């Protein structure tokens, strides 16, 4: 069991055909057994080894975006155990764009199952130090490949339906995917195919994360401080790529300072910010115990957060 660097986040990797190792991934992370793992290939040439059917659309995306931060969901081959796919007949496949990890996989010669190298539901790791802080001695080896250059998980696109569908937002957006395919791409949050990162609550820091619309952050933070909270404000860079690259590291850094609440403003609602907005909304705590602060937040928070019940994390 090793932790590998990727261009997105660090992954917890095991031989995809080793049932005991795959079970250990789930145990270490505390991950539900029906939550599928992404299978990382050493080369695009092995696509047909792990997918039962490779449509022309998949070949177009592989040619354009692999290696890179794009995961493609296809029908699985018999080579992929159901334990890896959460019991589904589909498999999520990716080819990492990190020179160190690619060399390791090339030498290994076959695919690995590799979710993010952190406890389930928590902030993903973007450095080797994050992995050590989360998993400690539960990991046999941590390969230090430096900070992840993208910083959020890969885009996941499902090609098993009638219309290509994005299941998880990432660095590669709908416009680029549609241009490559020559057909529209939709975003889907539900459906018959499960994929990593689709849970309503995920990517959460230990502190309560309060997500607000731009322009209300300072006011909300002041209100919470007046109510007795130890509150931090997370200021994201204006550049979408820089915001994605710094997001998880910033949340982790604030968590080490024992804040009970972190307030952050959603970046502008556009395609470039889609991945960061998605991660923040899934990580957010929609309700606070302080009734007055909660009523204030109901007025100031993003509309998409108002109807959410407190998740069981």
Q: Where would I find the H helices in the chain?
A: 19-29, 47-50, 56-65, 99-108, 128-135, 174-181, 217-226, 240-255, 274-283, 291-300
Assess whether pLDDT exceeds 50 at residue 40: yes
| Dist CA 88 CA 66 (whole Å) | 24
Residue 263: which residues within 8 A CB-CB, separation 6 or more? 210, 212, 217, 220, 221, 224, 231, 232, 233, 234
Pairing status of strand 112-113 against strand 186-187: unpaired
DSSP 8-state assignment for residue 92 = E
Percent of the chain with pLDDT over 70: 90
Rounded to 5 degrees, what angle do the CA atoms 126, 231, 305 make? 75
Q: What is the pLDDT of residue 313?
A: 36
Instruction: Assign 127 to helix, strand or coil.
Output: coil
pLDDT-wise least confident of 92-96, 200-204, 256-260: 200-204
Rounded to 5 degrees, what angle do the CA atoms 16, 35, 206 make? 115
Assess whether pLDDT exceeds 50 at residue 307: no
Structural domains in the chain, sorted by start = 2-187 (3.90.870.10), 208-305 (3.40.50.11030)
Q: What is the pLDDT of residue 196?
A: 85
pLDDT confidence bin for 219, thresholds 50/70/90 = very high
Residues 191, 159 contacting (CB under 8 angstroms): no
Instruction: Assign 183 to helix, strand or coil.
Output: coil
Instruction: Assign 136 to helix, strand or coil.
Output: helix
The backbone torsions φ and ψ at residue 251, rounded to the nearest 5 degrees and listed phi first, read -60, -45
Q: Report pLDDT digits (tens) over 52-88.
A: 999 999 999 999 999 999 999 999 999 999 999 999 9
| Dist CA 37 CA 120 (whole Å) | 12
Residues 105, 45 contacting (CB under 8 angstroms): no
Instruction: Assign 138 to helix, strand or coil.
Output: helix
Q: What is the pLDDT of residue 146?
A: 98
Q: What is the pLDDT of residue 309?
A: 39
Assess whether pLDDT exceeds 80 at residue 201: no
Assess whether pLDDT exceeds 70 at residue 190: no
Return the residue matching tokens 């990716």. 94
Residue 188: which residues within 8 A CB-CB, separation 6 or more? 158, 165, 166, 167
Distances (CA, A) of 95 to 71, 92, 257, 271: 8, 11, 36, 23
**Greater confidence, 292 or 120?**
120
Q: Report pLDDT digits (tens) over 236-273.
A: 999 999 999 999 999 999 999 989 999 999 999 999 99
The backbone torsions φ and ψ at residue 4, rounded to the nearest 5 degrees and listed phi first, read -110, 145
- Does the bond joining 67 to the residue before it have cis omega, within 30 degrees of 0? yes
Beta bridge partners of 75: 90
Residue 62: which residues within 8 A CB-CB, separation 6 or more? 44, 47, 72, 95
Residues 273, 240 contacting (CB under 8 angstroms): yes
Q: What is the pLDDT of residue 229?
A: 86
Q: What is the pLDDT of residue 304?
A: 43
DSSP 8-state assignment for residue 72 = E
| Dist CA 263 CA 266 (whole Å) | 10
């Amino acid at each position: 069991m090793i932790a590998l660097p990727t261009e997105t986040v660090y992954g917890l990797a095991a031989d995809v055909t080793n049932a005991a190792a795959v079970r250990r991934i789930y145990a270490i992370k505390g991950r539900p057994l029906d939550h599928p793992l992404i299978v990382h290939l050493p080369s695009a040439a092995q696509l047909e080894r792990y997918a039962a059917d490779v449509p022309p659309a998949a070949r177009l995306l592989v040619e354009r975006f692999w290696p890179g931060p794009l995961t493609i969901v296809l029908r699985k081959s018999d080579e992929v155990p159901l334990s890896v796919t959460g019991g589904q007949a589909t498999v999520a496949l990716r080819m990492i764009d990190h020179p160190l990890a690619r060399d390791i996989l090339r030498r290994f010669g076959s695919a690995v199952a590799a979710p993010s190298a952190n406890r389930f539901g928590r902030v993903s790791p973007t450095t080797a130090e994050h992995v050590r802080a989360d998993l400690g001695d539960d990991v046999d080896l941590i390969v230090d490949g430096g900070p992840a250059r993208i910083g959020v998980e890969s885009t996941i696109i499902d090609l098993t339906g009638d219309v290509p569908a994005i299941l998880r937002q990432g660095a590669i957006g709908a416009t680029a995917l549609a241009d490559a395919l020559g057909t529209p791409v939709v975003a889907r949050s539900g459906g018959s195919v499960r994929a990593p990162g689709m849970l309503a609550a995920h990517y959460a820091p230990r502190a309560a994360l309060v997500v607000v619309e731009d322009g209300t952050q300072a006011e909300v933070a002041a209100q919470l401080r007046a109510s007795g909270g130890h509150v931090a404000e997370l200021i994201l860079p204006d550049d979408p790529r820089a915001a994605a690259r710094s997001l998880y590291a910033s949340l982790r850094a604030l968590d080490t300072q024992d804040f009970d609440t972190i307030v952050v403003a959603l970046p502008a609602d556009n395609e470039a910010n889609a991945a960061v907005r998605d991660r923040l909304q899934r990580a957010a705590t929609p309700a606070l115990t302080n009734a007055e602060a909660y009523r204030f937040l109901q007025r100031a928070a993003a509309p998409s957060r108002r109807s959410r019940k407190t998740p069981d994390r």
